[in-house]
């Protein structure tokens, strides 16, 4: 049913249940995804899914609930569950946003891509993939995907906010083979507009990435300088992101506690979090609590300037929310997440980074992040792949190595930053963008 | 168990008919109405109190070896027929409507995993009190324990699966889990330990669980690890203990036996049926029928009966895990292994309760056989690349073995290698089989799975550490 009608009915009944204030958070997402395998459509997924969550205060305590059923029958469930949750809630209180603003942010880069366009693109990309190199023995997936989303927040204080967004994705999974060695690469392409994609270019890029991994050997264990490629850096930061949240600091789980104003990183590092960035896929003008996302420096020339705040953690520190009170989905409670969080790139090309590295390794993929990286202590030990570099030249690919180190030490051990800032796919809230970086003192475990 | 009202039979029939109108070979509907509840306490105070309804429909059409999948939660007749029509438009068939939708026959089966106390029966206050008690015991265990996290979750999923071959199957799946985590701190160092209980059962979990065990075991691991030195790296023999140690099997072998990868030639076990792939001491089973086990189910998400599949018998590869769609491509029958997180995912071949069967070596024999190596007592999660079998997982509780004796705890270790190699290198298998719950994430979303094994010895694995 229409979300505004649903909201009115829900708010009306909430009063009768004894809620003193309340909020509805609505999300709709539409996605079209095509996967091609051997010139056939292997998967075609089309979705249109909505959900709402409710929260409100009753007897001074907040309670949550959610539903994917958006009809009048769901209202009693939502209110009854939220009321029971409020009645046993002895955690910290959280306020609803009393700011009665009404704003609407349209999607500025909206595009049209028909199912036919997506299918043909995936077919083309697969074809060019096989043509680009005879060592490509299998392309398990050639995928195109478009996503559209809408978020709507309203509360009983009169706030009403809407934000739209969309982006396109293409992915080519490639298996290359030479002398019984198999190498796999998933090349992911993201853009605000599907029209910017070119299947032949994507295929060539993907193929180049996988064939250069052939001939990989296991190097001897050593301690070395590495170039951490942009994508791998984003993956690593994803695990440690939570340490920048005031919420984590308050729980005593972040080692960045009491470090504001101190050097926590090499002085060449500046980390920002902003509502929009030309390279980021989504604009995030407000967070899930309805706070306007503020552009800020988290680390400025190596010095920690502040944390990411939601309303609850901001209240604790008597500051304003930084607009980072995002929910992972409509089902999740308000937590903290970045909007568009990135390390400021320099103007150094990748070739310049290679020269500066001299001898060491390029690490361009990391796996097992949910297992091999301890988000609290900062220790990580991760399966990695990449290349051995000697005197600024790539010698050969390396495989089956682990790289080990500590995130906090890594921030200080950055020796150079590249220009190739790249944002990862959006997660809860926004996304993380990183340039490639040279890092010192990484333990490489191989033979 | 009967469920009703998920979808009108006539409407289901009409949807399937529209779905097949452009030449699809087979069409299927999956509808669910799922209530979930989630309670988290941090150091004894409520942190997350959430519950809700997941509700929607997924429609799948097969054409050749490909499939179209659409899902929505706008459940009005008009929209569902529109969505089915859009899905049908993506089927590039020529033989329009050649396949007819057969009349539905209700599938009947015995409930093998009854829930004694349905979710929503006990008050949330009672659940909070149980978690708080666990937290109190943990915090008292050792002064180094500075924080706890206790989590309770339950799921009550009603599903309907109907297909163009006349299947009409309904099921109710109830799951519960309680998870206790302790954090130990020493200077800047923090380490966590956890222990859980989980099953395909209801709120009787609150009566079955042993609060003292959950609290003390999680605290013991955290305290042991915070006092441990960093693990040395290198290649060495590794002993992997029972229970969640089976994650090595799950990651290194299980995923590579899923038809998802095998059908596309993207598994190192392709074309190896009836070949020797492991030491003859190794037998691997995936069993969805274990009563009330976390990874069990009556019927899979295509409506096939869950069953016990022997994957490797005495070192010989006997079976893959096969779903209907990939089975077509492989020329194999479904093994009742098709699963999905929710209507938002097309189902595919997945594991249920997967374990190494017992061997005859004793645990003492295994430990004392090692001059220098790692004893991985408790494993964490991991990941695997099915095409190459390369895996990586974390050791949450580890010890160095020296001269046949467990010498000292070490932290920060991870195990990396290739599945086929590790499988071939397992040379001792003990007799203390146990299973532990995990949540496995893959193509069709996150599904509950059990990992299990007795203690095993692997001749040599690369251990990633820091020194």
Whether the Cβ atoms of residue B380 and residue B398 lie closer than 8 Å to each other: no
Quote the pLDDT of residue B386.
66
pLDDT band of residue B289 (cuts 50, 70, 90) is: very high
Q: Which of B56, B68, B191 sits opposite A68 (nearest CB)?
A: B56
What pLDDT score was predicted for residue B93? 62
- Candidates B111, B453, B117, B435; CA nearest to B291 is B111
CA dist., res. B33 & res. B160, Å (int) = 9
| A112, pLDDT greater than 60 | yes
- Helices vs. strands in chain A: H and E counts, helices first: 10, 19
B189-199/B45-63 β-pairing: unpaired
Structure tokens at B104: 């539905």
Query: Is the CB of A404 less than 8 angstroms away from the CB of B466?
Result: yes
Categorize the per-residue pLDDT at B361 as very low, low, confident or very high, splitting at 50, 70 and 90.
very high
Question: CB pairs below 8 Å between A and B: how many?
Answer: 223
Tell me which residue has tokens 């949750």. A85
Mean predicted confidence (pLDDT) in B227-235: 93
Which residues in chain A are closer than 8 Å to B230, comparing Cβ atoms?
379
| Residues A333, A338, A342: CA angle, nearest 5 degrees | 165
Both tokens of A270, joined, read 């500046």
Of A77, A184, A221, the CB nearest to B388: A184
Q: Which residues of B touch A57 (CB under 8 A)?
A: none
The answer to whether A342 touches A417, Cβ cutoff 8 Å, is no
Question: B interface mutation test: which of A27, A28, A39, A48 has the most B CBs within 10 A?
Answer: A48
Q: For residue A67, how many C-alpha atoms fall within 13 Å in the half-sphere facing its CB?
A: 22
DSSP bridge partners of B448: B439
Q: Which of A38, A277, A373, A342 lies closest to A173 in space, CA to CA?
A: A38
Contacts with A43 from chain B: Cβ below 8 Å: 66-69, 346
Minimal Cβ distance to A379: which of B385, B390, B466: B466
| Inter-helix orientation angle A72-88/B124-141, to 10° | 40
Does residue B266 surpass a pLDDT of 90? no
The confidence score (pLDDT) of residue B388 equals 77
CB nearest A45 (choices: B55, B69, B462): B69
How many Cα atoms are found within 13 Å in the side-chain-facing hemisphere of B177? 22
Contact A419, A348 (CB under 8 A): yes
DSSP state of A46: E
Q: Do B188 and A255 touch (CB under 8 A)?
A: yes
Of B33, B190, B414, the CB nearest to A372: B414
Per-residue pLDDT at A81 exceeds 50: yes
**Plot region of A104 (φ>0 → left; ψ -120 to 50 → alpha; else → beta):** beta
Residues of B whose CB is below 8 A from A372: 392-394, 414, 464
B204 pLDDT more than 70: yes
Confidence at B3, pLDDT banded by 50, 70, 90: very low
In chain A, residues with a C-beta closer than 8 Å to the C-beta of B68 are 41, 43-45
Residues 6+ apart with CB under 8 A from B243: B378, B434, B435, B436, B451, B452, B453
- Residue A32's pLDDT is 94
Taking an 8 Å cut-off on Cβ atoms, the answer to whether B66 and A41 are in contact is yes
Average pLDDT rounded to a whole number, residues A403-409: 95
Cβ of A372 within 8 Å of Cβ of B393? The answer is yes
More confident residue, B265 or A74: A74
The answer to whether the CB atoms of A48 and B72 lie below 8 A apart is: yes
What is the pLDDT, as a whole number, of residue A325? 96
Nearest chain B residue to A180 by CA: give it: B388
Q: Which two tokens stand for residue B15?
A: 């949807």
Please give the span between the terminal C-alpha atoms of chain A, in angstroms, as a whole number: 61
With a cut of 60, say whether residue A205 has pLDDT above it: yes
Residues of chain B found within 8 Å of residue A180, distances taken between Cβ atoms: none
Compute the mean pLDDT over every residue in chain A, rounded to the nearest whole number: 94
Cβ-based contacts of B188 with chain A (< 8 Å): 255, 377
On chain B, the residues whose CB falls within 8 A of the CB of A51 are 73
**Contact call for B183 and A253, based on CB within 8 A:** yes
DSSP structural state of residue A158: S
Structural element, H or E, at residue A15: helix A3-17
State the SS3 of chain B: CCCCCCCCHHHHHHHHHHHCCCCCCEEEEEEEEEEEEEEEEECCEEEEEEEEEEEEEEEEEEECCEEEEEEECCCCHHHHHHHHHHHHHCCCCCCCCCCCCCCCEECCCCCCCCCCCCCCCCCHHHHHHHHHHHHHHHHHHCCCEEEEEEEEEEEEEEEEEEECCCEEEEEEEEEEEEEEEEEEEECCEEEEEEEEEEECCCCCHHHHCCHHHHHHHHHHHHHHHHCCEECCCEEEEEEECCHHHHHHHHHHHHHHHEHHHHCCCCCCCCCCCCCECCCCCCCEEEECCCCCCCCCCCECCCCCECCEEEEEECCEECCCECCHHHHHHHCCCCCCCEECCCCCCCCEECCCEEEECCCCCCHHHHHHCCCEEEEEEEEEEEEEECCCCEEEEEEEEEEEEECCEEEEEEECCEEEEEHHHHHHHEEEECCCCEEEEEEEEECCEEEEEEEEECCEEEEEEEEECCC
Whether residue A40 and residue B65 make contact (CB cut-off 8 A), yes or no, is: yes
In the DSSP assignment, the letter for residue A242 is G
Q: Least CB-CB distance to A381: which of B42, B147, B464?
A: B464
Residue B239: alpha-carbon gap to chain centroid: 23
Of B50, B72, B464, nearest to A404 by CB-CB distance is B464
Q: What is the mean pLDDT of residues B108-126?
A: 96
> Nearest Cα to A389, choosing from A441, A431, A422, A438?
A438
Instruction: Measure B71 CA to nearest chain A CA, in Å.
Output: 5
pLDDT over threshold 60, residue B423 = yes
Out of A64, A70, A138, closest to residue B50 by CB: A64
For chain B, percent of residues with pLDDT exceeding 90: 81
Q: List chain B residues with CB under 8 Å of A221.
A: 233-234
CB contact under 8 A, A85 and B124: yes
* pLDDT (mean) for B261-275: 89
Q: Report whether pLDDT(B464) > 60.
A: yes
Task: Point out the residue among B65, B189, B380 whose CB comes nearest to the CB of A377.
Answer: B189
Subunit contact B393:A371, Cβ cutoff 8 A: yes
Of B125, B380, B465, the CB nearest to A404: B465
CA-nearest of B226, B43, B208 to B140 is B43
CA–CA distance, A279 with A273 (Å, rounded to integer): 13
In the structure encoding, which two tokens stand for residue A152, read together?
A: 């709507």
- B14, B18, B23, B29: CA torsion to nearest 10: -70
Position A108 scores a pLDDT of 83
Which of B245, B247, B453 is CA-nearest to residue B361? B453
Residues of B in contact with A69 (CB under 8 A): 33, 53, 55, 73
List for chain A the helix, strand, coil content (%; round to 5): 25, 40, 35
CA distance B73 to chain A (A): 6
What single DSSP character describes residue A222? E
- Residues near B169 by beta carbon (within 8 Å), at least 6 away in sequence: B106, B107, B160, B161, B162, B299, B303
Mutation target to probe the B interface, by most B beta carbons within 10 A, among A46, A56, A174 is: A46
Alpha-helix residue ranges (DSSP H) falling in A71-191: 72-88, 115-132
Packing angle between helix A72-88 and helix A3-17, nearest 10 degrees? 40
- At A352-394, the pLDDT tens digits run 999 999 999 999 999 878 778 889 889 999 989 999 999 999 9
Which residue of chain A comes nearest to B346, CA vs CA? Answer: A45
DSSP 8-state code for residue A290: S
Task: Show Cβ contacts of residue A16 under 8 Å, excluding neighbours closer than 6 positions.
Answer: none
Chain A residues with CB-CB distance to B236 below 8 A: none
CA separation for the pair B343, B69 (Å, rounded)? 10
For A208-238, how does the pLDDT look when each residue is reduced to its tens digit (9 = 90+)?
Answer: 999 999 999 999 999 999 999 999 999 999 9
Q: Considering Cα of A393, then A399, then A403, then A407, what sign does the dihedral take?
A: positive
Q: Is A225 helix (H, G, I), strand (E, B) or coil?
A: strand
How near does any CA of chain A get to the CA of B195, in Å? 16
A44/B67 Cβ within 8 A: yes
- Quote the minimal CA–CA distance from B360 to chain A in Å: 31
**Average pLDDT over every residue of B223-240:** 94
Q: Do A443 and B233 touch (CB under 8 A)?
A: yes
Q: What is the rounded average pLDDT of the residues B358-370? A: 96
* Contact (CB<8Å) A44/B87: yes
Average pLDDT for B14-34: 96
Amino acid B466: pLDDT = 67
**Are B233 and A51 within 8 A, CB to CB?**
no
Q: Which tokens sit at B305?
A: 């009966």
φ/ψ region of B64 (left if φ > 0, alpha if ψ in -120 to 50, else beta) reads left
The alpha-carbon gap from B243 to the nearest alpha carbon of chain A, in Å, equals 17
Contacts of B467 in chain A (CB under 8 A): 443
Asked whether residue B449 carries a pLDDT value surpassing 80, the answer given is: yes
Contact A379 B412 (CB under 8 A): yes
Mutate one of A181, A368, A376 to test the B interface: name it (highest B CB count within 10 A): A368
Other beta carbons within 10 angstroms of residue A36's beta carbon come to 26
pLDDT at residue B434 greater than cutoff 80: yes
Nearest-Cα distance to chain B for A191, in Å, is 23
Q: Where is A255: in which H helix or E strand?
A: none
pLDDT of residue B1: 39
| Neighboring chain A residues of B66 at a CB cutoff of 8 Å | 37, 40-44
Angle between the N-to-C axes of helices B77-89 and B9-19, in degrees from 0 to 180, rounded to the nearest 10: 20
Q: What is the pTM of this model?
A: 0.85
């Amino acid at each position: 049913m229409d979300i505004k009608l649903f909201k009115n009915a829900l708010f009306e009944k909430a009063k009768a249940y004894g809620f003193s204030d309340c909020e509805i958070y609505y999300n709709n997402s539409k996605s079209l995804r095509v996967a091609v395998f051997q010139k056939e459509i292997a998967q075609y997924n089309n979705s249109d899914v909505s959900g709402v969550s409710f929260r409100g205060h009753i007897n001074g305590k907040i309670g949550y609930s959610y539903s994917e059923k958006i009809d009048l029958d769901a209202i009693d469930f939502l209110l009854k569950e939220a009321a029971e949750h409020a009645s046993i809630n002895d955690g910290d209180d959280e306020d609803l946003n009393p700011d009665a603003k009404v704003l609407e942010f349209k999607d500025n880069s909206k595009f049209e891509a028909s199912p036919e366009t997506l299918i043909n693109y995936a077919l083309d990309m697969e074809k060019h993939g096989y043509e680009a190199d005879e060592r490509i023995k299998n392309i398990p997936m050639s995928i195109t995907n478009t996503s559209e989303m809408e978020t709507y927040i309203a509360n009983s204080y009169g706030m009403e906010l809407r934000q739209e967004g969309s982006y396109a994705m293409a992915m080519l999974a490639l298996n290359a083979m030479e002398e019984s060695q198999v190498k796999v690469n998933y090349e992911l392409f993201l853009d605000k507009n599907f029209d910017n994609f070119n299947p032949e270019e994507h295929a060539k890029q993907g193929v180049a990435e996988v064939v250069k991994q052939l001939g990989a050997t296991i190097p001897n264990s050593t301690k070395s300088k590495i170039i951490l490629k942009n994508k791998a850096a984003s993956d690593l930061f994803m695990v440690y992101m939570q340490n920048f949240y005031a919420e984590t600091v308050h729980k005593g789980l972040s080692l960045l506690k009491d470090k504001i104003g101190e050097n926590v990183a090499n002085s060449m590092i500046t980390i920002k979090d902003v509502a929009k960035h030309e390279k980021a896929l989504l604009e995030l003008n407000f967070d899930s609590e309805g706070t306007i996302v503020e552009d800020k420096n988290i680390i400025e020339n190596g010095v920690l300037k502040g944390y990411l705040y939601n309303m609850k953690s901001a209240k604790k520190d008597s500051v304003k929310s930084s607009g980072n009170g995002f929910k992972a989905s409509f089902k999740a409670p308000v937590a903290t997440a970045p909007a568009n969080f990135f390390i400021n790139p320099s103007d150094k090309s990748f070739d310049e980074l290679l020269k500066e590295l001299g001898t060491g390794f390029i690490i361009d993929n990391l796996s097992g992040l949910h297992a091999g990286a301890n988000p609290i202590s900062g220790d990580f030990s991760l399966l990695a792949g990449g290349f051995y570099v000697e005197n600024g030249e790539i010698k050969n690919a390396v495989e089956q190595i682990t790289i080990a180190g500590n995130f906090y030490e890594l921030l200080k051990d950055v020796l150079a930053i590249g220009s190739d800032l790249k944002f990862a796919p959006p997660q809860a809230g926004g996304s993380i963008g990183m340039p490639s970086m040279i890092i010192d003192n990484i333990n490489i475990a191989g033979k | 168990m009967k469920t009703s009202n998920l979808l009108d039979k006539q409407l289901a029939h009409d949807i399937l008919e529209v779905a097949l109108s452009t030449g699809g070979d087979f069409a299927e509907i999956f509808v669910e109405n799922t209530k979930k509840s989630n309670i988290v306490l941090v150091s004894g105070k409520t942190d997350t109190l959430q519950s809700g309804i997941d509700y929607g429909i997924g429609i799948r059409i097969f054409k050749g070896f490909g499939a179209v999948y659409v899902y929505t939660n706008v459940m009005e007749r008009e929209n569902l027929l529109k969505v089915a029509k859009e899905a049908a438009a993506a089927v590039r068939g020529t033989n329009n409507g050649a396949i007819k939708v057969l009349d539905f026959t209700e599938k009947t089966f015995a409930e093998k995993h009854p829930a004694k106390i349905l979710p929503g029966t006990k008050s949330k206050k009672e659940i909070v009190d149980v978690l708080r008690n666990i937290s109190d015991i943990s915090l008292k265990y050792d002064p180094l324990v500075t924080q706890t996290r206790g989590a309770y979750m339950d799921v009550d999923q009603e599903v309907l699966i109907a297909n163009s071959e006349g299947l009409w199957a309904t099921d109710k799946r109830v799951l519960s889990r309680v998870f206790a985590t302790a954090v130990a701190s020493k200077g800047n160092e923090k380490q966590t330990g956890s222990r859980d209980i989980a099953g395909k059962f209801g709120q009787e979990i609150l009566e079955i669980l042993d609060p003292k065990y959950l609290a003390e075991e999680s605290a013991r691991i955290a305290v042991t690890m915070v006092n441990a030195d960093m693990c040395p790296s290198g290649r060495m023999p590794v002993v992997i203990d029972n229970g969640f140690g089976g994650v090595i099997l799950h990651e290194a072998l299980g995923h590579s036996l899923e038809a998802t990868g095998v059908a596309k030639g993207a598994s190192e076990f392709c074309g190896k049926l009836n070949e020797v792939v492991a030491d003859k001491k190794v037998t691997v089973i995936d069993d969805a029928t274990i009563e009330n086990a976390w990874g069990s189910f009556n019927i899979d998400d295509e409506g096939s009966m869950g069953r016990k599949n022997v994957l490797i018998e005495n070192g010989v590869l006997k079976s893959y895990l096969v779903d209907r769609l990939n089975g077509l491509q492989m020329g194999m029958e479904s093994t009742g292994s098709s699963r999905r997180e929710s209507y938002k995912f097309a189902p595919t071949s997945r594991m249920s309760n997967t374990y190494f069967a017992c061997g005859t070596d004793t645990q003492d024999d295994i430990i004392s056989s090692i001059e220098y190596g790692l004893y991985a007592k408790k494993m964490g999660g991991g990941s695997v690349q099915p095409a190459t079998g390369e895996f990586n997982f974390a050791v949450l509780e580890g010890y160095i073995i020296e001269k046949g004796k467990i010498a000292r705890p070490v932290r920060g270790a991870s195990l990396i290698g290739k599945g086929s190699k590790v499988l071939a290198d397992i040379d001792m298998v003990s007799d203390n089989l146990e299973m532990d719950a995990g949540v496995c994430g893959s193509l069709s979303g996150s599904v509950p799975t059990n990992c299990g094994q007795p203690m095993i010895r692997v001749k040599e694995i690369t251990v990633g550490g820091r020194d």
